[in-house]
Amino acid sequence: MIRLDERLATVASMVRRGSRVADIGTDHAYLPTYLVESGICPGGIAADIRQGPLDAACRTVTEAGLTDAIAVRLGDGLAPIEFGEADDIVIAGMGGETIAEILSAAVWVRDSRLQFVLQPMTRAEELRRWLLTNGFTITAERLVRDGHHLYPVMTAAFTDAPPEVDEYYFYAGFFTAQEGKPYRDMMAEHLRRRAAGLRHGGDEVGAATLEGIAERLCKENLK
């Protein structure tokens, strides 16, 4: 039985029971193997752009005796997946901008029946920005700690909703008030450092904007 680390376990907990799963950038295919072994998903697809990780994924799936349930495919982003083959799409362990690029390259992601489970390692604000300005709704967000790092894990679906234009939410995320406190603290410090860099470069307007968001993040934590 595959054992997942805390980060991937949180991702797995947000996949819908009974869904067919596609894991993009699967590496060793631990996530889809766990989901099928646990009975959460009846089957799925493990995809990766690199042959090395794909070979490792093949070994994992074969050793688990799941070659009939999990297809292992080589390809870039969502290119190896056809619409209708998966219900839940997992893209984890990449930068937020990279995840946004992968989603934007596939027109078929704009279907309300699909759920996306996304775990950006960096630039989560850019992923939220892309989702909320391209008709997606972030339906849930959780926080996971891995060593000294905090990572958001979010679910999203296409709803064709009006865009959320308030920059604050790109940085604050959509956690419950209590769970999001350490993340908001982290983002406030990050924004202050970025603002200092902008001010050093002469961008007073940009610096003031980021400082204003940092202030809002801190005020939310005082409630």
What's residue 21's pLDDT?
98
What's residue 147's pLDDT?
82
Q: Model confidence over 181-210: pLDDT tens digits?
A: 999 999 999 999 999 999 999 999 999 999
Neighbouring residues of 150: CB distance < 8 A, sequence distance ≥ 6: 143, 144, 182, 183, 186
Domain ranges of the chain: 6-163, 176-223
Q: What is the pTM of this model?
A: 0.96
Quick one: CA torsion of 106, 94, 68, 66, rounded to 10 degrees?
-170
CATH class for the domain made up of 6-163? alpha beta
- What is d(CA 23, CA 88) in angstroms, rounded to the nearest whole number? 9
What's residue 77's pLDDT?
97
What's residue 201's pLDDT?
93
What's residue 85's pLDDT?
97
What's residue 68's pLDDT?
98
> For the chain, which ranges sit under pLDDT 70?
none
What's residue 166's pLDDT?
87
